[in-house]
Structure 1
Amino acid sequence: MRVERWDGSQVRERAGELAELLADTVSDGASVGFLAPLGHAEAAAWRRERAAAAAAGRLAVWAAVADTGRVAGTVSLAHPDKPNSRHRAELVKLMVHRSARGRSLGRLLLATAEEAAAATGITLLHLDTETDSPAEHLYRSAGWTRAGVIPDYALSPAGELRPTSLYFKRLDFQRLTG
């Protein structure tokens, strides 16, 4: 398994594969902003829309690619466009295909995004995730700090209101690489 940083053209060209990953994640119940069932065409269109942000540098995208060439996971960092927030980024859409889970791929993608952020001068990351989800347990075990919980924040893929937990992590480049 290798993790690659993808530019806007790669995100656009491989939107179909990224859509398969997104649809798999949603159908497995992960709250990543979509309701089930999520069709391939809708997922691919959403991914293609993200290509412009990746090309402009507002979104950094990494894909975990198996030896077969199949996309097994992804993670992104969304960079704010305001001058007073250039020191931070939002971790978004950390997803691992069901067939690749249980092999620490989520942890690898998370570490990749954290290290890349620190290397570019980002000192603070933040995210939101469904409360009590497997993702929340990953973030907590990776040293992220829960800032709070918002009740009834978003619908689960099944359409039920669920709380979300807000997390942050201060980055220290020396600590991450040393």
Structure 2
Amino acid sequence: MTDTARVHAPDSFTIRRLGSEEATVRIDALADVLMDCVAGGASVSFMWPLPRDKALGFWRGVAGSVARNERVLLAAEDAAGTIVGTVQLITDMPDNQPHRGEVAKMLVHRSARRQGLALRFLAAVDDAARDAKKSLLVLDTSTGSDAERLYERAGWLRVGVVPNFARMPDGPLCGTTFFYRVL
């Protein structure tokens, strides 16, 4: 059975916080998840084809940001310990916004989708935000995506849509929908 054909039980995932050192050690696995998501059409700031060195560079930057306490990195692992998803909470905000956090780059490998992992990530990021003394969360996602519907079902409040905000990995412009959540 190939990686993309794997099926996981929802309780077979473990979500935990990765520190900077562990993120650096597991950078290849993190890059694999990012590259799979972009290859699958996720509009997450990268174009396809995504060179591996660019994906690795992104995760090196995230690890550095984690080391500086600017963000929290959460990862989901399957029963074999393989990273199948990530989400970040950006906590380093301007002086006039210390109460706010930004949810960024919720990525779930295509082999682990539609099994409740994204909802578990949202609950885990809420907990991380409360631990960081945040009372307001914001995020954005591509308009019309599965992620947009997920955030609505999870109770996030839609602020609005900016048309032609970004490009899909294969080139066309897409709108971006902004959401918030009060904790």
TM-score normalised by L of structure 2: 0.91
Match in the other structure for 2:31: 19
**Which ranges of structure 1 fall in alignment gaps of 5 or more residues?**
172-178
Greater alpha carbon shift after TM alignment, 50-59 vs 111-120: 111-120
> Offset of 1:110 from its aligned partner?
1.1
Match of 1:91 among 93, 97, 103: 103
Q: Verify: 1:61 aligned to 2:73, yes or no.
A: yes
Match in the other structure for 1:110: 122
Q: Which amino acid aligns with 1:135?
A: A
Q: Which amino acid aligns with 1:112?
A: A
Match of 2:177 among 142, 162, 165: 165
> Offset of 1:53 from its aligned partner?
0.5
Q: How many residues align?
A: 171
Give yes or no for contact 2:72–2:128 (8 Å, CA) kept in 1: no
SS at match of 1:5: strand
TM-score normalised by L of structure 1: 0.93
Equivalence map 1:17-166=2 (5 Å): 17-166=29-178
SS at match of 1:82: coil
Runs of 4+ in 1 over 4 A off after TM superposition: none
SS at match of 2:123: helix
Query: Once superposed, what is the RMSD of the aligned Cα atoms?
Result: 0.9
Match in the other structure for 1:176: none
Name the CA distance, whole Å, in 1 between partners of 2:110 and 2:103.
Answer: 20
